[in-house]
Structure 1
Amino acid sequence: MLHRVFLFLKRWLLQRIRGKPMGNKLNTTRKSSARKTNLNDFLLEVAKSIFTDIFNVDVVIVKIMNYAQRLVDADRASLFLVDEKKHELYARVFDVGLTCSTYRDLAALDLEEALKLSSIREIRFPISKGVAGYVATTGNILNIKDAYKDDRFNPEVDIVTGYKTKSILCMPIFIRGSVIGVVEMVNKTHGSFTKADEYAFELFAVYCGLALFHAELYEKIWRSEKKYKVALDVLSYHSQATIEELRELRQKPIPTCLPSITHYSFSPWHVSESNKPVYCLYMFKKLFGSRRYDLDDVMRFTLTVRKNYRKVPYHNWSHGFAVANTMFTIIETSQHQLNSLECLTLFVACLCHDLDHRGKTNQYMIQSSSPLAAVYTTSTLEHHHFNQTVTILQNEGHNIFKYLTSEQYKTVLGDMRRYILATDITAFFENRIAMEKILSTGHFSWDTIHHRNVLVALLMTACDLCSVFKPWHIHRQLVYDIMDEFWLQGDEEIMSGLVPTDLMDRRKKAALPKLQVDFTKSICLPCYVLVHRLLPDTKPMLDGCTTNLKNWQKQADDSGGTEV
């Protein structure tokens, strides 16, 4: 007892010597107790809020950033997760606040490219880069009072955006002793981040780790369930080509000459169903000879691809065949510098680009909570089409690329994925801007990989829209085929209580001529203008598109909105 009194008197004397009155001790104790009470109340609120949305990782991340921002009174907050396999940090949801401030640590990225990512859902960078990378690799807290005096800080985004980063508090999130994420808070509203902020966040980080761990675990289970449903759906609808179908195709002779097939006015839709595979074999052989592939493999592959297109009004096997024929025509009739492997990949990508299409748009798949939309959050159908292509290639006797080297095969699959994803119509706008920039700031070069990639992406769009430049009587019928598909989707949207767009609403079919004019002017015509500038021999596509646009414009003007 005397010993405790002695220690108390000693502390009191020291406080007096330092000019701190004894009365402040009680006030300090009360303030500390109040802070702890407030922190406990805050953490209880965090637990209640975050764990109610434990089934959605993105919602959990947003809540963590919002609470982190409130906890330490920061102006901005970002959260990066650790990808141990790729040794990267990635952000699934951008930071709370300034759109581009998430990128302040992306020293590995070209600044212009990083800023382009502002509309993309996920970004990645090496785990060794920047302030966040340091914290992720060391597991240490980093409290920077002056960002510009720290070598680990990347000021480039501040320069572009005009946002001034002053102080940074970057904290690791642990689960089972390993760093699974990093929260970075920027610019404390008043002064710099303190030791009290560090202490508070260490407690907060425990809840963050548990929430993220369980949310990601649930998401993996949920996505696996969705993939399983997609697989069952595909298996119930499709199968491989039968022995009888293969035998029947073997008995059909492959023509030695089909001159009309390379005319831009040729109608692939008028080729009989039994002859479409034969024409595919002709085009395949014409492009690639007969030494580097097994004819039976090509037959099985073609027949199985045909079987894996659904019987929808427009995005069916006939459409896939027509798109492949258009790419074949471009390759055969225009002066280009595409190598044989690129031509092979483009042709097969076109043939397979809409495999297992359900006759619905990506937006509908998302709105209707389709299992596909859960598996592929961007370019939903296009990712599925590519994965279906790979699935077919993996079937026994279907690998038409088996004579390629492993490096060539890897290149083909990577390129095919890019080509098929390019058929997402939303990708066209970015590709159009990129090509217009190339042409306005210099000249197109086949030797520049970026130029080449943008061109082939535009070619995929040009082929996908091939019905637009066909002779009027063919084109007009195809427009009604695709409208049948759109209107069926619109009917389902109305039944579900949704409001369809004018294009999907059969009650507004009188506006079809005007809708076609708008579509052609905004997408088709700009696409064919650019392709023609790069490949002048494709002029028939531009001419056909222009002629059909005039016909639709005339109908729109004459009818005043009444369907013709």
Structure 2
Amino acid sequence: MEFLRLMMERAVAFWRNRRFFKFRSTNDNHNRNSTDEKDPKPKEFAEEEIHAYLKSHPEYIESYIMDEVELELLERWMIRRTQKAKKLNYANRKTSLSRWKFCVHADKRQMLEQLTQQLQMKPTKTHVLFELSSCISNAVNADGFRLYLVEEGTDILTVVMDSESFDDEGDPRIMKIVDDASIASYVASTREPVRFSRGDCDCRFPNGITDKDTQHILCQAVVYPDGSLVAVLECWRRRNGPKFHEEDEEIGYSYLVWGGIALHYMSIYINLNKQKKLNDFLLAVVKSIFQDMVSMDMLVIKIMNYAQRLVNADRASLFLIDSKTNELYATIFDVGFDDEIQNKMNSPRGAKETTEKLKSDEIRFPVGTGIAGLCALSGEIFNIVDAYSDTRFNRNIDQITGYKTDTILCMPIFIRGSLIGVVEMVNKRVGFFTKEDEEAFETFAIYCGLALHHAKLYDKIRRSEKKYRVALEVLSYHNACSETELEKIEKMGIPATLTKLADYSFSPFDVDEYQKVTHVIFMFKDMFSFNRFDQKSLIRFVLTVKKNYRRVPYHNWSHGFSVSNSMYAIIKNSKTVFRPNECLALFIGSLCHDLDHRGKSNKFMLDSASPIAAIYSTSTMEHHHFNQTVTILQQEGHNILGKLSSTEYKQILSLIKHCILATDLALFFPNKAKLCNLVDEEKFSWSILEHRLMVNAMAMTAADLSASAKPWEVQAETVKGIFEEFYDQGDAEREAGRVPMPMMDRNQPDQQASSQLGFLNGICIPCYSLLNRLIPETKPMLKQCQENLIRWQGIENDMKKKKESTE
């Protein structure tokens, strides 16, 4: 243990004084004798023995250091150890952040905070370097500093910044190097720190310190983590100041390591910031190009205008490829740099006027002619600094226009690997086109290609749309209501009062086809503020809806009217439950929910490979019903929502779609399960949009199935139509070689009662029970459905008895 104690004491003495075991080699007998007198016991051990023991027992050193040595002393040891390694092989050194994880100096943290602030205010390398130099100068108590900047990628000093020289805006002044900078040059080439005082004799610096006010200098290199030089910092003290010591060098070094790391990340930040600005510009370009794509000519003007702004060019031209003739052509070219053009292009009228003004006779020339032609031929970028010294340049255009071309940047535009055009930028407004311009323009060219490609597609679509409109006009002539029908409804007049319409028991069989139209208009006017709607448009809309219901046994105009009437009753009786826009969507959705129904189920449409099923793989017929609704609204004189704002129109149309799709019974079951859970767990809230949408869907199902909640006579009459339609589908399935379901087989009429029992028990009763919990005013629907269930149960029982008696 005595041996261990002595070893630990000597180890601490070594790191603190850097004289470990120098008593064996020193010529200072006095110090040696003094040490021996105070502690003679180290003589008993050989240096090799101590080294060997410490190497084999490192845990003892660690234990002592962790308990006894201060953190700042540990930090200095780490710096000295790193400097020693640096001197051995500085050129290959790469600073590791892990070497500085023990650095806890308060000034260092303050320096990093200052650098962070500087990075946010003025994120340039020059300003951050100046801020770093100020930190180090203060940390080593210097009177000032000089910061030498180097040429990128070299060790050559270019300019200098002085801590005492600033411009009018308060920024550090950058000056050319005029005084001797031999010390800074030496540090730049060797990366080794130098401490020098006036009067020191050093053959490396024959001129010494030339500045008459400077007495002492501490000069150090500022490097990136990979070892590349950024700058050289020279801190100085005046004649009355003390010399710089090794501790000052250590402090400066530790700051510079962190400063190099900060500068490294700052350069990354600057590059990212440049990229972000380019991305923001390109995003603005894409939005502008694709948002208002009206014509090819307008698109070409926008592309040229944005291209000019991107590379700061004075003129721009865009030539497209005619693949049939292998020529380049343009109707708009040589567009000047003009902010007024850009402003005009932002309005439809201004855009049209600008396009007409800039359009000229079409220019055509073969691929391979001139700079643009050669660019198209080779598919390469052409960056010409002096056009007149390039033999490929055609001077004829300049002679005709009187405009002198100096610099050119010409780039091909590709889409899916095929050349579609060439953009030519002429005369950089300041200097000449750089590599950075080429890279930015190359990225921009990708979006140009996409825009031009889609513009061509857009033109094709527009032509197709014209054909579609012609077909729609022909179809509308046969499929829309006639003026005679409109006049007939106007003569009939809209009833002033119809109190029974709000009863859940109202029978659709009590009114004829045209009375149903007047009743729908009455319900519409009764629920909604009619100054927001045009009455003639409403009459046309309802008449055309009536006309677009096919004459099938069940999903016909009578069914559409009945469902809209049931929704009217739900809305009127529940009063404030639904919001105005929801009421409008629910009513229109109910009225139109089975438009153009073919009397066949979704499954039948899929199995029979119907064209509609090819368009919509889920909720096939429901999607078709919604599209038919939109088609009617788009017909001239039919848009009952025309007076609404754009936002309100979109909202209501979205709600109508939600309501119509909700009539697909495949969606009923998951919707019911979610609602039941919410109600059972007391989590349902009318203020939550998602909950309201689920109730809207449940109300649509309730209205769609309302025949089951009508008085028995209405229910029985409706079921006749339902089964007739079922049997028609069964017949079609049998003709196609498929076996129909029993309830769709007209040869099994005894299945009617049992199928109705399953339908009422499995769908109708659960639907009305849940709706009753949410909207208590709908209880009559549940009650009537339960009564009908009892009647069907009775019929089923009678049939069973009859069957048993015959057997």
TM-score band w.r.t. shorter chain: 0.5 to 0.7
1:405 corresponds in structure 2 to: 645
How big is the shift at 1:272?
0.8
Decide which of 503, 506, 512 is 1:272's aligned counterpart: 512
2:651 aligned partner, one-letter code: T
Q: 1:316-342, CA deviations, whole angstroms, 9 ceiling, x for partnerless residues? A: 000000000000011111144312111
Decide which of 533, 549, 556 is 2:773's aligned counterpart: 533
2:522 corresponds in structure 1 to: 282
1:548 corresponds in structure 2 to: 788
Contact 1:490–1:500 (8 Å) recurs in 2: yes
How big is the shift at 1:445?
1.1
Q: Aligned pair 1:523/2:724, yes or no?
A: no
Q: Distance in 1 between matches of 2:627 and 2:751?
A: 37
Q: Distance in 1 between matches of 2:769 and 2:598?
A: 31
How big is the shift at 1:537?
0.7
Partner of 2:505, secondary structure, is coil
1:473 corresponds in structure 2 to: 713
Q: Distance in 2 between matches of 1:434 and 1:268?
A: 33
How big is the shift at 1:468?
0.3
Q: Aligned pair 1:299/2:539, yes or no?
A: yes
Q: Distance in 1 between matches of 2:588 and 2:685?
A: 25
How big is the shift at 1:477?
1.2
How many residue pairs are counted as aligned between the two chains? 343
Gaps of 5+ in 1: 1-84, 87-174, 179-223
Decide which of 493, 512, 515 is 2:752's aligned counterpart: 512
How big is the shift at 1:443?
3.6
Q: Distance in 1 between matches of 2:786 and 2:511?
A: 25
Q: Distance in 1 between matches of 2:722 and 2:751?
A: 15
1:459 corresponds in structure 2 to: 699
Decide which of 495, 499, 521 is 1:259's aligned counterpart: 499
Q: Distance in 2 between matches of 1:518 and 1:239?
A: 38
1:147-546 equivalence runs, <5 A: 176=416, 235=475, 239-546=479-786
2:337 corresponds in structure 1 to: none
Q: Distance in 1 between matches of 2:755 and 2:517?
A: 34
How big is the shift at 1:403?
0.9
How big is the shift at 1:236?
9.7
Partner of 2:501, secondary structure, is helix
Contact 1:511–1:562 (8 Å) recurs in 2: no
Q: 1:86-123, CA deviations, whole angstroms, 9 ceiling, x for partnerless residues? A: 9xxxxxxxxxxxxxxxxxxxxxxxxxxxxxxxxxxxxx
1:495 aligned partner, one-letter code: E
Q: 1:155-188, CA deviations, whole angstroms, 9 ceiling, x for partnerless residues? A: xxxxxxxxxxxxxxxxxxxx9479xxxxxxxxxx
How big is the shift at 1:268?
1.7
1:23-102 equivalence runs, <5 A: none
Change (3 A) 1:458 1:177: farther
TM-score of the superposed pair, with normalisation by structure 2: 0.41
Q: Distance in 2 between matches of 1:299 and 1:432?
A: 36
Q: Distance in 2 between matches of 1:502 and 1:561?
A: 20
Q: 1:251-285, CA deviations, whole angstroms, 9 ceiling, x for partnerless residues? A: 12211111111111110232111211110110010
How big is the shift at 1:250?
0.9
1:519 aligned partner, one-letter code: F
Contact 1:262–1:329 (8 Å) recurs in 2: yes
2:482 aligned partner, one-letter code: T
1:391 aligned partner, one-letter code: T
Contact 1:269–1:319 (8 Å) recurs in 2: no
Q: Report the identity percentage.
A: 49
1:326 aligned partner, one-letter code: S
Q: Distance in 2 between matches of 1:562 and 1:248?
A: 52
1:472 aligned partner, one-letter code: W
1:492 aligned partner, one-letter code: A
Q: Distance in 2 between matches of 1:561 and 1:300?
A: 53
Q: Distance in 2 between matches of 1:536 and 1:457?
A: 17
1:309 aligned partner, one-letter code: Y
Partner of 1:506, secondary structure, is coil
Q: Distance in 1 between matches of 2:706 and 2:801?
A: 26
Contact 1:335–1:535 (8 Å) recurs in 2: no
Change (3 A) 1:561 1:510: farther
How big is the shift at 1:444?
2.2
Change (3 A) 1:419 1:561: farther
How big is the shift at 1:499?
1.0
Change (3 A) 1:559 1:298: same
Change (3 A) 1:540 1:237: farther
Contact 1:392–1:398 (8 Å) recurs in 2: yes
Q: Distance in 2 between matches of 1:562 and 1:303?
A: 47
How big is the shift at 1:395?
0.4
Contact 1:260–1:266 (8 Å) recurs in 2: yes
Gaps of 5+ in 2: 1-285, 288-414, 419-463
2:492 aligned partner, one-letter code: K
Pick which of 385-394 and 495-504 moved more. Answer: 495-504
Q: 1:59-95, CA deviations, whole angstroms, 9 ceiling, x for partnerless residues? A: xxxxxxxxxxxxxxxxxxxxxxxxxx99xxxxxxxxx
Q: Distance in 1 between matches of 2:539 and 2:716?
A: 32
Q: Distance in 2 between matches of 1:235 and 1:380?
A: 23
2:768 aligned partner, one-letter code: Y
Partner of 2:513, secondary structure, is coil
Q: Distance in 2 between matches of 1:236 and 1:411?
A: 26
> Larger radius of gyration, structure 1 or 2?
2
How big is the shift at 1:235?
4.1
2:657 aligned partner, one-letter code: R
Q: 1:452-471, CA deviations, whole angstroms, 9 ceiling, x for partnerless residues? A: 01100000000000100111
Partner of 2:492, secondary structure, is coil
2:40 corresponds in structure 1 to: none
Q: Distance in 2 between matches of 1:236 and 1:291?
A: 27
2:800 corresponds in structure 1 to: 560
Q: 1:10-62, CA deviations, whole angstroms, 9 ceiling, x for partnerless residues? A: xxxxxxxxxxxxxxxxxxxxxxxxxxxxxxxxxxxxxxxxxxxxxxxxxxxxx
Contact 1:487–1:504 (8 Å) recurs in 2: yes
How big is the shift at 1:348?
0.5
Q: Distance in 2 between matches of 1:177 and 1:463?
A: 56
